[in-house]
Amino acid sequence: MNHQFIQSVMIEWDQIGRDSYLRDIEAVAGLAKLEFTSPITFFVGENGSGKSTMLEAIAVAAGFNPEGGTKNYCFSTYDSHSELCEAMRIVKGYRRPEWGYFLRAESFYNVATKEEEYADSRHPSAKLHEKSHGESFLAIAQKYLRPNGLYLLDEPEAALSP
């Protein structure tokens, strides 16, 4: 039995424009269904191969903010996500995640800014801007990545030192 929170994603290509750049991304073009059978999935490929585009679409289709954060984050610094999320249908498993986080290296600064704005006495800020890039990523991991959660991480290695 498949115990994954997301069992598969299906792309309805008739909802994507004929002249969309998505049709030119080799790894994505023509993909009708992607199944997940393991608790962890890595998208690996060259720059421009569609990894971030696919991960972003899955995150947005799953209810996360396009720039990242938890499902409670609701803001837009710059609306740059593709139409793929609108053509994507998620097949969910019988289990529901208790928590989740979408981490995008390219828009993490914006999420860190919102984290400060959203803070209150019950939810104090982690003051991510006062930490190094690596320390702020680690703070997010320690605070949000816990068992029974759905985590979508786009380029988490960007904050790592060799």
∠ Cα 40 97 89 (to 5°): 75
DSSP letters along 81-140, please? --THHHHEEEEE-SS--SEEEEEEGGGHHHHHHHHHHH--SSS----GGGS-HHHHHHHH
pLDDT tens, 68-114? 999 999 999 988 888 999 999 999 999 999 999 999 988 999 999 99
Q: What is the pLDDT of residues 19-47, one digit of tens each?
A: 999 999 988 888 999 999 999 999 999 98
- Check residue 30 and give its pLDDT: 80
Quote the pTM value: 0.92
Per-residue model confidence as pLDDT tens digits over 43-70: 999 988 999 999 999 999 999 999 999 9
Radius of gyration of the chain (CA): 16
Residue 1 has pLDDT above 90, yes or no: no
| Beta-bridge partner residues of 9 | 34, 90
pLDDT digits 0-9 by tens, 112-152 = 999 999 999 999 999 999 999 899 999 999 988 999 999 99
